[in-house]
Chain A
Amino acid sequence: MSKIGVFVCHCGENISATVDCAKVAETAGNYDGVAFSVDYKYMCSDPGQNLIKSAIKEKGLTGVVVASCSPRMHEPTFRKACAEAGLNPFMCEMANLREHCSWVHEKGEATTEKAIDLVRILVEKVKYNHSLNEIKVPVTKTALVIGGGIAGIQASLDIANTGHKVILIEKDPSIGGHMSQLSETFPTLDCSQCILTPRMVEVAQHPNITLYTYAELESLEGFIGNFKAKIRRKSKSIDEKLCTGCGQCTTKCPVKKIPSEFNEGLGKRTAIYVPFPQAVPNKPVIDRINCTYYIKGKCKVCEIVCPTKAIRFDQEDQIMEVEVGAIVIATGFTVKQPDFFPEYGYGKYPDVITGLQFERLASASGPTLGEIRRPSDDKVPEKIVFLACAGSRDPAKGIPYCSKICCMYIAKHAMLYQHKVHGGKSYVFYMDIRAGGKQYEEFVRRAIEDDGVNYVRGRVSRIYEKNGKLIVNGVDTLLNAMPVEIEADMVVLATAGIANEGAEELAQKLHISYDPYKFFAEAHPKLKPVETNTAGIFLAGACQAPRDIPESVAMASGAAVKVAGLFSQDELTREPIIAVVNRQAPPVYSSCVGCFLCVSACPYQAIEKEEIKNRNGELIKLIAKVNPGLCQGCGTCVAFCRTKSIDIQGYTHEQMYTEVMALLNEY
Chain B
Amino acid sequence: MTLGFYPGCSLKGSSREYSESVLAVSKAFDINLEEIKDWNCCGATAAHNMNKELSLALPARILSLAEKQGLTEIVVPCAACYSRLTVTKHELSKDATLKAAVTEANGLEYTGSVSVLNIVQFLDKYITPNLENRVVKPFDHKVACYYGCLLVRPHEILKFDREEDPQSLDVLMLKAGATPIDWAFKTECCGAGLSVSRTSSVGRLSGKIIGDAKDRGAVAVIVACPMCHSNLDMRRDAINSYLGEKIDIPVLYITQAIGLALGLDRKALGLQRHFVKVTV
Contacts and interface: CB of A to CB of B under 8 A. Distances in A.
A13 interface: no
A429 B162 CA distance: 26
Contacts of B212: 466
Given A466-B212, A466-B215, A342 B164 contact: yes
A342 B212 CA distance: 19
B158 interface: no
Contacts of B184: 464-466, 471
Nearest to A467: B215
Interface of B, secondary structure class, is: loop
Contacts of A464: 184
Interface centre among B162, B184, B212, B215 (most CB of A within 10 A): B184
Interface in B246-266: none
Interface string A339-350: 000110000100
Contacts of A343: 164
Interface in A418-474: 462, 464-467, 471
Nearest to B212: A466
A348 B212 CA distance: 18
A249 to B, nearest CB: 41
Interface string B157-170: 00000111100000
Interface in A456-513: 462, 464-467, 471
A284 to B, nearest CB: 40
A464 B184 CA distance: 6
Interface residues of A, number: 9
Interface string A270-292: 00000000000000000000000
A348 B164 CA distance: 12
Given A465-B184, A466-B184, A342 B215 contact: no
Interface in B196-237: 212, 215
Contacts of A342: 162-165
Interface of A, secondary structure class, is: strand
Nearest to B216: A466
Nearest to A471: B184
A467 B215 CA distance: 9
Interface string B161-194: 0111100000000000000000010000000000
B164 to A, nearest CB: 4
A465 B184 CA distance: 7
Contacts of B165: 342, 348
Contacts of A471: 184
B211 to A, nearest CB: 10
A464 B163 CA distance: 15
Interface centre among B162, B163, B165, B212 (most CB of A within 10 A): B165
A466 B215 CA distance: 9
B207 to A, nearest CB: 15
Interface centre among A343, A348, A464, A467 (most CB of B within 10 A): A464
A465 B183 CA distance: 8
A471 B183 CA distance: 13
A46 B147 CA distance: 71
Contacts of A348: 165
Contacts of A466: 184, 212, 215
A306 B40 CA distance: 81
Interface string A61-87: 000000000000000000000000000
Contacts of A462: 164
A17 to B, nearest CB: 39
A471 B184 CA distance: 10
A465 B212 CA distance: 11
A566 B162 CA distance: 54
Nearest to B165: A342
Contacts of A465: 184
A343 B81 CA distance: 26
Nearest to B184: A464
A425 B117 CA distance: 49
Interface string B128-162: 00000000000000000000000000000000001
A391 to B, nearest CB: 15
Interface string B15-37: 00000000000000000000000
Interface in A315-367: 342-343, 348
B193 to A, nearest CB: 22
A465 B165 CA distance: 13
B90 to A, nearest CB: 18
A348 to B, nearest CB: 8
A570 B131 CA distance: 78
B255 to A, nearest CB: 27
A612 to B, nearest CB: 66
Contacts of A467: 215
A91 B89 CA distance: 62
A557 B165 CA distance: 48
Nearest to B164: A342
A512 to B, nearest CB: 35
A342 to B, nearest CB: 4
A465 B162 CA distance: 19
B156 to A, nearest CB: 10
A343 B185 CA distance: 11
A467 B212 CA distance: 10
Interface in A384-441: none
Contacts of B162: 342
A238 B31 CA distance: 66
A466 B212 CA distance: 9
A32 to B, nearest CB: 54
Nearest to A466: B184
B217 to A, nearest CB: 13
B269 to A, nearest CB: 32
A465 B216 CA distance: 11
A461 to B, nearest CB: 11
A462 B165 CA distance: 11
Nearest to A464: B184
A342 B164 CA distance: 6
Interface in B70-109: none
Q: Closest 6 interchain pairs by CB?
A: A342-B164, A464-B184, A343-B164, A342-B165, A466-B184, A342-B162
11 contacts: A342-B162, A342-B163, A342-B164, A343-B164, A462-B164, A465-B184, A466-B184, A466-B212, A466-B215, A467-B215, A471-B184
Given A464-B184, A466-B184, A466-B212, 11 more contacts: A342-B162, A342-B163, A342-B164, A342-B165, A343-B164, A348-B165, A462-B164, A465-B184, A466-B215, A467-B215, A471-B184
Interface of A: 342-343, 348, 462, 464-467, 471
